[in-house]
Amino acid sequence: MSLAITIDNFKSEVLESQIPVLIDFWAPWCGPCKMLGPVIDEIAGEYEGRVKIGKVNIDEHGVLAEQHGIVSIPTLILYNNGELAAQKTGAAPKHDIISLFKNLL
C-alpha cells in the first residue's frame, strides 16, 4: 500500500527513511496517472518493507511539487538515504519503474 506524502511528513517519511522511497507525483484528473496508479500500488505490495512507495497529489500538495520542479505528471522520484537518486516522467511499464530502485536492494 502506498503512503500519502505531505509537506508535514516529507522529512520523516522520505528524507529520514532507512529504505529507498519512490514518490509518485500525480493528480486525480491526469489520465496517465490513473493508468499508472494500479501499477504503483502493485509494486508497493510486492516490495513492502524493502522500498517505501509514496504518492503526492499535486493539487493538494503543490508546494512539494514546486520544490521538486514538477512540470509534468506523472513523475516518479526516487530517494535513497535522503538524497534524490533517480527521476522518471511519464507513464512507464512496471519493469521500468522497478529498475529505478532494483540496484539499491
Whether 33 is a known active-site residue: answer yes
Cell for 1?
500500500
Among residues 3, 7, 1, 2, the alpha carbon closest in space to that of 58 is found at: 7
Whether 31 is a known active-site residue: answer no
Of 5, 14, 33, 40, the catalytic one is 33
Of 5, 21, 23, 30, the catalytic one is 30
How far apart CA 58 and CA 65 sit, in angstroms, is: 6
Active site residues: 30, 33
